[in-house]
Every structure is written in C-alpha cells, then in structure tokens.
Amino acid sequence: MRLGILTGGGDCPGLNAVVRAIVRRSVMEHGSEVVGFLEGWRGPMESMVMPLTLQGTGGLIHRGGTILRTSRSNPFKTERGPEKIMETMEKHRLDALIAVGGEETLEIADAMGTKHGLNVVCIPKTIDNDLNATDFTFGFDTAVNVVMEAIDRLHTTAESHNRVLVCEVMGGNAGWIACYGGIAGGADFVLVPEKPIKIKDIAESIKKRHARGRDYSIVVVAEGARLEGEEKPAEGPLRSANGQKPTGVGERLANLIEQETGYETRATVLGHIQRGGSPTAFDRVLATRFGVKATDLVHEKKFGRMVALQGNQVVDVAISEAIGSLKTLDMNLYGVAEVFFS
C-alpha cells in the first residue's frame, strides 16, 4: 500500500512520535510506502508532498512540533478543495490517508470520507484534551506538566512578595488543562469555562486563605473562562479581533481580584509555551500506540475510523463519534480541585 499522513490544526508535542510510528509500522510490518503532506489539508490540496522513510523519521520521538508542519486550511472553504485532494491522492497513487488533528481536522476527514470517498483514518491530538470518544489526546500531558512547572515557579515568587499570582492557561472551550495543571501545581483557585463563578466568591475564597496566615495565592484560569453574570468582560476584549481565540482573561481577573481583595495581584499568560518542546513519556507512548493502531486499521481497510484511548486500551471508533460536540471537563475532577480552594 501507499499511504499519506497529514498533521492539521494547532501543533502539539507527540506529532513527530506519531509520524515515526506510522512509518515504522508501515514499512517494517506491512511493506508499505508512506508520504507526508505538508501544512495540514493544504498539502493534499496543493500536492505538497515529502517522502517519509525509515531513515528520515528515525530519532524523532523526542522532538516537539511537527516535521510536516501544520495549518488550519479547510478544503471545504477552498474552491474545489475536496476535488483537488482526490486528484492528489490519484496522482501520487495513494490508497489511504491518516489525518492527525483536533476537531476541525476530524470534521474535514469525516466529510472527505463520507462525501468524497477518501479512505481515511484519524488520530486525535490536542493539548486541550477536549475531543470526545477518547479518554486522552496526546499533547495534553505535556501541556499539563508545563503548567505544573510554571505554577511551582510562581509559588516561590508569590510567597516572597505576598502576592496573588494569576496564571492563564490554554483551554478556550474546556478546563482540562486548568484543572489538571491546577491540581498538580497546588493552585488555590481554578477557574474553568464550564463553571462561571462570581468575582466576589473568588475574592472571598482568597481572603479566607490569607486570614489563615497564607499571605499569597495562586489562581489558575483557563483562557475561555468567564465570571458569573459576565457576558462581556468588564474591560478589554474577551476574544481576539478575528473572533478565534479567547484573550485577556488572566489580566482582567488579576485586576478584579486586586480591586476586591486589596492584595497585590499580577497575571502570567503561559500561551504557546504549553504547546512547545519535547513530549512527556506519557505522550510519547500514547502517540506511538495511536500511530501503530492507525497504521494497522489502514491495512485492514477499516476506513472512517479514529483511534482512541478508552481505559488503558487503544481502540477504534467511528470518526463521527468524536465530532459534533466537545468533551468538557469532568466536574467530579473539578470537585477535587475545589477541596483546595480557600
């Protein structure tokens, strides 16, 4: 067989581990050839292809980012996009495509399969961990470890200065990173998109903690979180100009906490640091397991499927099970974070 791989959407640590695993399994077990499409769905639309060999993909497991590069190109928003993809598949004599991506990439893959007959298998990735039908996506564990380390560092400086430090983390729609990172780092308050809270309650919680003799606090806030009763932020945009990305919540929250409590408060935005660098061992292993399983599905001609982690097993589900809605935070987990508020 000849198969193609693309990585779409925002990058995350573990993408190169997936590419390495797919090439290794395809060549060594199935005697197949693999090519990489560059820059997400732009690659198959514009026939941007690179050969992927055992030699060229060795030594990649630790490397962050994606050697295939990525984009948010959408063939369904491009003139003749789907047709161009099918022509490229034909031109390079490719039997199937493995698409590695988040919600939008999976939606495109699903529509390409059902409406245009593309033989496609998907691998879920996102640091946000908000994809349905899989317990975890790779990239998430690395992001959480970055957040944890950042909070560790914020703790020592917060304590020295008797400050409240707000740490804004990624998660435009779901609070997985904030909650896991907050629990692991020992945060004193965590604010997530799933549960808007009144600023007065946050301030009360911090004041109680300080009344117990703790003169500093760490507040973790997901970038998509908002305060209860707040449709729009008190000041500054909640979303960037293109409407894509929640912004500014950390800074706004810090100002409000300072106003309400009188404690000196500062904000730190971790941003893309959470997406960069080497994957953790967990993400390397998960990405490798996903890559091997997806390759086997292609060779079994089980198309329209996505690999998923359920319990400790890597299984396959219909791509359609993972799209349509996002996997929001398990509020039992938030309950664990709450034990440490105030």
Site residues for ligand F6P per CB under 6 A: 10, 126-128, 170-172, 223, 245, 275
Nearer to ligand F6P, 56 or 271 (CB): 271
Nearer to ligand F6P, 170 or 269 (CB): 170
141 assigned to active site:
no
Backbone φ, ψ for residue 224 (5° rounding): -95, 5
What is the spatial distance between Cα 45 and Cα 48, in angstroms, rounded to a whole number?
A: 8
Identity of the residue, 32 or 173, whose beta carbon is nearer to ligand F6P in the bound complex: 173
Residue where the block lists tokens 């729609």: 173
Among 234, 187, 217, CA closest to 338: 187
Residue nearest to ligand F6P according to CB distances in the complex: 10
Answer for the pair 257, 199: CB distance below 8 angstroms, yes or no. yes
Out of 11, 95, 110, 128, the active site residue is: 128
**Total H helices, total E strands in the chain:** 12, 11
Least gap, CB of 256 to ligand F6P (angstroms):
22
Chain centroid to CA 200 = 31
Shortest Cβ distance from residue 175 to ligand F6P (Å)?
A: 11
Residue 293 neighbours by CB under 8 Å, 6+ apart: 307, 314, 316
Q: Are strands 2-7 and 313-318 parallel, antiparallel or unpaired?
A: unpaired
CB of 165 to ligand F6P, least distance (A): 21
In the complex, minimum distance from the CB of residue 29 to ligand F6P, in angstroms, rounded to a whole number: 31
- 94/122 with CB nearer ligand F6P: 122
Point out the residues that are catalytic: 128
